[in-house]
Structure 1
């Protein structure tokens, strides 16, 4: 019987030697404590490849790929899959602009090529908690549950309906401690903070629902004080994408490849929730921090525009989430397409409210308001087009996964 194989992945476009050292330790821990082969995959778009390579030499099995090697792999997968619109699909998988969903989709395909049963994602701006002198690695909780029939998984609490218990656990995840997951902590006390953050609520939300959403958005969890886990259909608000793992689900449905949009990589968490799929919610939270680059003028503006596009993308994503009942790719693609048929006027109002919220915040946020006004039409067009592109990718995903399984990562 073949041993399980797990892919522990870190996508990065920045210097992150300290984080990589932490993840090397996590990979080594998993290999030592579980009957599993662990591949550490680093998708490296940074200018620090050699510094990263020196750190990664400490892991037993590493795939460290720069963008040319990633592109080469994708081109060979596309030739094998022979889909419609191969050039568009290559752009969606490896766009010129930053895309949280696209980098994770590349990890999904490479994991399939490596024969991995599960994918465990970490980000480049994290480290792990320490408890009683030992690092608290999320992969410990993830490997204890992923892929196993739910009824065989031990958890501190079991809230799973009996009808779900013969299904495999498709997701295991936790949250974070430390800095807010979205870099808006500096304005949390400002009276306009509510104006800004409440804009990501679904249309029709009550004032009480909006205030509850604002209160819990992007804020993280309590520090680790001993293992606690819940077997259930996991609430998407309780987990974060830099502390997540999947079994099977990521090979059925890709993530939205939207560019310059925070939150675009959370879609599968919602699929698992809406389809009623078993998951494990644990408390091995990572420690989140913000890099100095994000605080620079250039980094600040780029990040706030990604937040602005996130707000505009939610007009379409809420439409999808409200109708999702399955993990069937064809059904999901149909709903994604249907979301783009909505009238654009409500999102135009959202863009105006977004600009007003930023302007009310004042200071350096005034420049963000100016950019939202200047790029208003482009942002609105892109938010809708991203969903059209996503439907195309969903349609092609099964063929891409099948082709990836037959494609060597290096050739």
Structure 2
């Protein structure tokens, strides 16, 4: 029986999301006859954790659905065992890369990947705690429907279950490595207020994350596409396309990934940095691996603490660090494009060696680009005034630290990529032991 992981990382109370995902898991079992491991990795404090735990405890048992809810202590125990068993030279560093003492979007997804390996799952289906499913005629629109139709199957077989195939006939034996929908609702980076306040400043800021070698026209076109998903386009009827996806049509919070992808390349373990969880998608797209893009989009929204006071500063600093990270990521992505199918082995799986070489080669990149980035940010935020001027003061006070951290994040990613195969093997050997994972079915 196919065993899959429906995965939710969370750092807040989200009992409604837990219930929604349990319904999606039950739908998957009933429709596809799979075994679903609903995995909630929870880094909330005691009070918030208890709310999520109550939601898990209240779930009706469903044959074929196994629920695992791991808090901080359980995660630390498991990942310490994995780090020590991996054969890495510095288990404490590896544990810190997996469970840092700060928000790390890539690290939380990496934990999901290793836990999925420990559970023996062949695919991981990622969701988020600040998104809802669309509802049509009283029924929730579950992305897992399209995901389980195709993920991991030979592309030639998947061609029979999609609305349209753009597959090259020569690629029929290649596995479908990703299946993704997009999102509607709010921007997936919370900078919509800047667009409302001053569209010109918004354009200047978003241009900072575009490849500097691009023409002005191409950079402006990217500004128009960035962070917007499908706008307000609601679900009407199923549509799906098989082929090599465009990177703009895949979304990390509405995606299924085959284990032959995420067991090779981990995401960046960057601290307090949004957008660091897309490197794996770039590797799959640029290697021209087959994927399916569908229209069971989720509805993105933002929780209010990100827009006022300390929460505003904290979130916007993560956006700043995202912009600085691109100095080190674009050389990697460009190299991936150059390698193309050379990123794949004879079995059509990702090869780690060329990617690791690219990551190592990026860490000493000239910082002049980030000096310019911070200059534009300072000028732009001060032009907006108010809380954005306060943000400019915070950024200015941490200017050197921010550039140092961006380079350190690239260096830490190289360490993790090099250690990843050993950690995956260790996770499989370690397993999620009864009593550790709180499994229920």
**TM-score with structure 2 setting the length:** 0.91
Once the two structures are overlaid, the 10-residue window that deviates more, 234-243 or 154-163, is 154-163
Shift of 1:391: 0.8
Query: Match of 1:68?
Result: 73
Is the 1:196–1:358 Cα contact (8 Å) retained in structure 2?
no
Shift of 1:240: 1.3
* Cα deviations by residue, 1:333-376 (Å, 9 ceiling, x for unpaired): 11011111221122211121122122222221111111111111
Partners in 1 of 2:408 and 2:414 — Cα distance?
A: 10
* Cα deviations by residue, 1:137-182 (Å, 9 ceiling, x for unpaired): 0011101100100000121121122232211101111111111101
Query: Match of 2:439?
Result: none
Query: Match of 2:240?
Result: 229
What's the C-alpha RMSD, in Å, of the aligned pairs?
1.2
* Cα deviations by residue, 1:28-77 (Å, 9 ceiling, x for unpaired): 11111112100100001113122112222316411000011011001111
Q: Does 1:200 align with 2:209?
A: yes
Partners in 1 of 2:236 and 2:117 — Cα distance?
A: 35
> Runs of at least 4 residues of structure 1 off by over 4 A?
none
Shift of 1:305: 0.3
**TM-score with structure 1 setting the length:** 0.97
Partners in 2 of 1:345 and 1:188 — Cα distance?
A: 27
Query: Match of 1:54?
Result: 54
Q: Does 1:356 align with 2:379?
A: yes
Query: Match of 1:308?
Result: 320
SS state at 1:353 partner: helix
Is the 1:201–1:210 Cα contact (8 Å) retained in structure 2?
yes
User: Which of 147, 157, 165 in structure 2 is aligned with 1:152?
Assistant: 157
SS state at 1:323 partner: helix
Q: Does 1:240 align with 2:251?
A: yes
Aligned residues: 409
Query: Match of 1:186?
Result: 193
Give matches, 1:281-360, under 5 Å.
281-324=293-336, 325=339, 326=343, 327-360=350-383
Partners in 1 of 2:243 and 2:385 — Cα distance?
A: 43
* Cα deviations by residue, 1:177-202 (Å, 9 ceiling, x for unpaired): 11110111112131211111111001
Shift of 1:17: 1.4
User: Which of 156, 171, 194 in structure 1 is aligned with 2:178?
Assistant: 171
SS state at 1:200 partner: coil
* Cα deviations by residue, 1:301-352 (Å, 9 ceiling, x for unpaired): 1010000000000111111100113131121111011111221122211121
Query: Match of 2:104?
Result: 99
Partners in 2 of 1:188 and 1:165 — Cα distance?
A: 44
Once the two structures are overlaid, the 10-residue window that deviates more, 19-28 or 303-312, is 19-28
SS state at 2:208 partner: helix
Once the two structures are overlaid, the 10-residue window that deviates more, 305-314 or 19-28, is 19-28
SS state at 1:19 partner: helix
Is the 2:327–2:365 Cα contact (8 Å) retained in structure 1?
no
